[in-house]
Amino acid sequence: MDQVSILARVYCINILLTLLSIIATASVMADESTAKGWLVPANLPFERIHPLLEQEVSTLSKIDLSYVRIKGEQGYWFIVDLNKQSQSKANVIYADNSHLAQLDFYTLDENFNLLVEVNNEAYRYINKVLPHAQLYADEARWAAVYVRHSEDDRMGIRLATAAEFAKLINTKLRNFFLIAGLLLLSIAIAGTVYGLSHQVKSLYLLGYLICVLSEFLIAKGVLNYFNIEFVSLWYIKLQFSFQVLALAVINFYFIHYLQSQNLLNARQDKLTVYIGLFSVAAVLSCVMKQSEQFAVVTVCLGAMLVLLCYLFFYWLSNTKKTIQFKFVLVWFAVILQTLCWQATLVSGAKVQQFNDVLLVLNVITFVLMLLIHERECVKQYSYSLTHDDDTKLPNKQLLIKRLDNQVILEIEHSLLLFRPAVLSNARASFGYEHVNDQIKVTMGKLVPQLASMNVMCIETNLQGSRCIARLDDSTYGVVIVGKLELSQIEQLVCVINSVFAEGITHKRIHLIDKVEIGVANYPLHASTSLQLVQRGLQALAVKPLHGERWHMFNIDNVALSQRRIAIASALKEAIEFDQLSLFFQPQIYLNTGKVHGAEALLRWEHPQLGNVPPDLFIPIAESSGIISDLTEWVITQALRYQKKMTALLPEHIISINISAKDLQRKDLPVLFITLLNEYQLNPANVMLELTESATLFEGVDIRNALNDYRLIGVKIAIDDFGTGYSSLAYLSKMGFDEIKIDKQFVMNIEYSKNDQTICRATCDIAKSLGSYVVAEGIEDSQSMVKLQSYGCEVGQGYFFSRPLPFDDYMLWLEQNFEATTVFVNDLGKVVDLVGKNNY
């Protein structure tokens, strides 16, 4: 629907509604009871007009006094024949306009002589709301009312009995307090809702209600109790300005709503300026004459109505969502209220009662719509607390609530947690939206299969029953009711694995991965629901071995996990407070027996944990992110000790192990340069040992990383050679200075032909690549002789020395650095010149 058709519809509807308001106003006016009499314009006091009354009454024809227009600064006499009124028992005369500048009541005899000037001092508060006079004199034949106002206005003169007038007053006061109380209560509700939720719609409703309340109070003559003519007059005119402001607030809300839905373009944003201009014009019209103000306010109300209709139909034509009935109801209520206000401008007080009824209905409608919306928001928020936003599955909170019920009833049950590993890869490859859709489809396939098994229903709603809960981004849970039976768990595991075996496909990319499963039982493994979830997560965290598809909670795994956590926590403190130490294991030239150097080995003796082996805390340091600090500490200490070692043995080689993750650090070569310059060490005497698995570490450019260290001058060794998958081409490409044979091939070399073959081949490969070989784990002379015969240059192991603390190693070095420690003569006999001073 284009804008032209929208505007055409708006104007047609506006014309139709205006005609309806005129017809409704006419019908209301026709139904009003009338009081007939004579209207005599005269700015004269009673004494001067008295001689003319009989002549005026005899010459003028009767007119309807219930609706009379009066001009500003012009006095008027209303003359009523009391004996000829249809209400013969009427003893109260009143005016329906309480805003007049001057209003005086008189009673006259049949000769138009003044009987008494009515004094309503005893009823002055009622008189402020409904000016009136009681006709006590039995001989009263005529009633005269003198009226003067500073602006053009409308008014009516009416008669009633005392009982009817009392009922009228009571009705007006009751309606006033009820409507005013309802408006104040609605304002309090809207303000409270905004204070709690800070929703913009409640703020707009608050502004609308304040404008309506102000207009209502002015219309009911609240300021008439202040005897200030100018203020009262200005205040009365402000009544119509508040009507325009109330419509402006509604229009602003529609614009805000359309902007929040991205339905308004930049050009249509100028509607805000137009609404503001009409609002300012309505406020400024208070200083105009009343006739001029009515014209301005009528134009502003019409313009606001056109804009409101335009915005509404524009929303209908552009919204892609289902049209909300409450939105249409609010729009219709505002339109009807506007038409009623326009009718009030035409007919004055004649439609005021209908306006009050409509005002009550609209306010109740708006507040109910707001409360219903807030109720929906509360329900949605409560739902979000117990359900996952992406998949709409029950979340951890709802699962724990159901488990609590099982614990209270002491029903035995098991919690099966599963984590499809494919989800993490799929999110990285395909994005969250596609994966969440796939999860819904997969869970939709899994639920019917689980329903036939002894699985607890976590939630039942209009969408059906749900037996799967989502604990976190990739972990799901199922509750098995009854005693723990391994066959039942195996059946569930088979079902889950079969469903996820299909994997996830997107744009011809298909991902298939395993499912990790952990199980914990109540009351076997836990006594509370929270503890049961914790046990299930601990079982899920166990690394599966070959052939294992699921894990039952095991207290031994928990103890190991807790120890790992304690180690990770204590490791940072150990680095800061120097609880670590370096040991040094000598490396010996096999042919000459001279000291080649030493390998720096890290040791940790914790006050509470005891001796923590490197095989345990090094992986923990890598997984917890402490490995960088640990490596810096080792390098700093090793090079500081190397300074003292080279003072005793200038050609001493220090070997330092480095982690694969350390190769990614660009600041580590800088640290080497700084320390080498500080201690004035020869870089060629520093050997960095990388495990074979580290050289194959995924995501690391090994060659470029090693070149950074070669530029410094340090040498590179590949450690634990033979345990990985390095090829000869790979070794040639990397260009290692040293190849270390792992001790598992050395310790049994005398009896194992396979180990002999591996060691001999390694030595041959090293010679062909220009590298020398270091053998680890030499524990006897026979192993040393074998390796020496294969061409192995350097060896280390318990046969030479155990790893020694720095002070002990320096003592050992002083005793052995000059002599030929171990050599092999031509007869193959081993001569030990060191004696039995082995560590």
Q: Consecutive sets of 10 residues in the chain, 839 residues long: mean pLDDT of each?
A: 46 46 41 59 69 70 76 82 64 77 79 65 62 72 81 79 81 83 88 84 88 83 54 66 88 83 70 87 82 82 84 77 70 80 66 76 83 81 81 86 90 89 66 73 81 81 75 87 85 84 64 78 89 88 71 75 77 84 94 92 85 83 81 92 93 88 82 92 92 55 79 88 60 81 89 90 88 92 91 93 93 73 40 39
Q: Which residue, 374, 395, 376, 369, is CA-closest to 384?
A: 395
Q: What is the pLDDT, as a whole number, of residue 513?
A: 62
Query: How far is 406 from 422, CA to CA, in rounded Å?
Result: 32
Is 287 strand, coil or helix?
helix
Question: How many helices and strands, by DSSP H and E, does the chain display?
Answer: 25, 32
Angle between helices 290-318 and 229-260 (to 10 degrees): 10
The pairing of strands 738-741 and 715-721 is: parallel
Q: What is the pLDDT, as a whole number, of residue 652?
A: 94
Angle between helices 614-624 and 627-648 (to 10 degrees): 130
CB 699 within 8 A of CB 705: no
Q: What is the pLDDT, as a whole number, of residue 228?
A: 47
Q: What is the pLDDT, as a whole number, of residue 806?
A: 94
Query: How far is 616 from 565, CA to CA, in rounded Å?
Result: 12
Find the helix or strand (DSSP H, E) in which 625 lies.
none
How many Cα atoms within 13 Å fall on the side-chain side of residue 97? Answer: 27
Q: What is the pLDDT, as a whole number, of residue 507?
A: 62
The pairing of strands 653-657 and 595-606 is: parallel
Q: What is the pLDDT, as a whole number, of residue 31?
A: 38
**Encoded tokens for 438:** 């796939």
Number of CB atoms found within 10 A of residue 267's CB: 7
Domains and CATH numbers, the chain: 32-160 (2.60.40.2380), 169-380 (1.20.1070), 413-553 (3.30.70.270), 579-832 (3.20.20.450)
Query: How far is 224 from 228, CA to CA, in rounded Å?
Result: 8
Q: What is the pLDDT, as a whole number, of residue 25?
A: 40
CB 345 within 8 A of CB 240: yes
Cα angle at 141 between 136 and 144, to 5 degrees? Answer: 80
Number of CB atoms found within 10 A of residue 487's CB: 6
